A = this chain, B = another copy of it.
Amino acid sequence: MKFELTILGSSSATPVFNRNPSAQLLNCNEKFYLIDCGEGTQQQLIKFGLKASKIDTIFISHLHGDHYFGLIGLISTMHLNGRIKPLYVYGPAALKDILDIQFKYSDTVLRFQLLFNPVVADEPRVIFQNQDVVVETIIMNHRIPCTGFKFSEKKRLRKVIADKLEEAGIAPEYYPLLKKGLDLTLPGGRFIKNSDYTVDSDAPKSYCYCSDTLADGSYLESLTNCTVLYHEATFLHELIERANTTHHSTALQAAEIAQEVGAGKLIIGHFSSRYKVLLPLLEEAKGKFHSTELALEGHTYSI
């Protein structure tokens, strides 16, 4: 299935010229998930030719403004543009109060259902699943309750070896059962051993989003088998003390975590506004974990 990530915002705390606060759009099998929604996310969607109307599910990591100030505007625009299908929002419980007070005073009654699901940042939990993906929280260590999110593909069906099945005269009507991994006994008693006619599918892929966190390793277990890891890298490692004080990570620490969990690829983002040029952050991370890329707004990364 299609599984790709588009960066909409890569800045920490405040927007700076050409960088917007955190937001990412994940496409899993042509279903669109928005991860965080800093101010201006709807403008970024317009800029990159992405349709807000395609987003059905939104995950908000925590209630620092650079991760959610754009949500009320995005929802209002969906309403004004005539949306009728439901919108699912996952985030800290208080987010609902913040949205509701603004709907109240603008006298807005949404034309669609906003289905709000409070997320508790106490331990990793499955908070969402459909036929394509499972989403689990990752418990971050930040100044306020904060979760990351792990998106894992559902286990795929086995691949049938069509030539061999045809040669053996096994009718295509049995393929779906074989894809599911079943051994079969056909009418008449012929036994079909699944492993003779199918092979394992590719391993399910996963995308882990580590929003804002002290890089204390407390969440490493959640990153097991991570295909692509996004990890915040607010600072260069020379500012490790600042990172510790503010409960953020350095580029080097993000790389160490990617290495430790054996991630397939690392994307770093949430860059401090002090960095006009991002190359030193990339170089610092690549020195420890080669397969690192910068989160660049408008770029799409294959998972």
Contacts and interface: CB of A to CB of B under 8 A. Distances in A.
B106 A102 contact: no
Number of copies: 2
Nearest to A81: B14
Given A39-B40, A98-B101, A77 B107 contact: no
Nearest to A62: B106
B65 A106 contact: yes
A65 B69 contact: no
Contacts of A64: 106
Interface residues of A, number: 36
A87 interface: no
Contacts of A46: 15-17
A150 to B, nearest CB: 24
Nearest to A74: B39
Interface string A87-107: 000001011011001100111
Nearest to A65: B76
A237 B105 CA distance: 29
Nearest to A17: B46
Contacts of A94: 101, 105
A72 interface: yes
A298 to B, nearest CB: 14
A199 interface: no
Given A17-B46, A81-B14, A92-B105, A39 B144 contact: no
Nearest 10 CB-CB pairs, A to B?
Answer: A39-B73, A14-B77, A63-B105, A94-B105, A40-B40, A69-B73, A65-B76, A15-B43, A63-B106, A13-B80
14 contacts: A14-B42, A14-B81, A16-B46, A17-B46, A17-B47, A43-B43, A63-B102, A65-B102, A66-B76, A94-B105, A97-B101, A105-B144, A107-B143, A107-B144
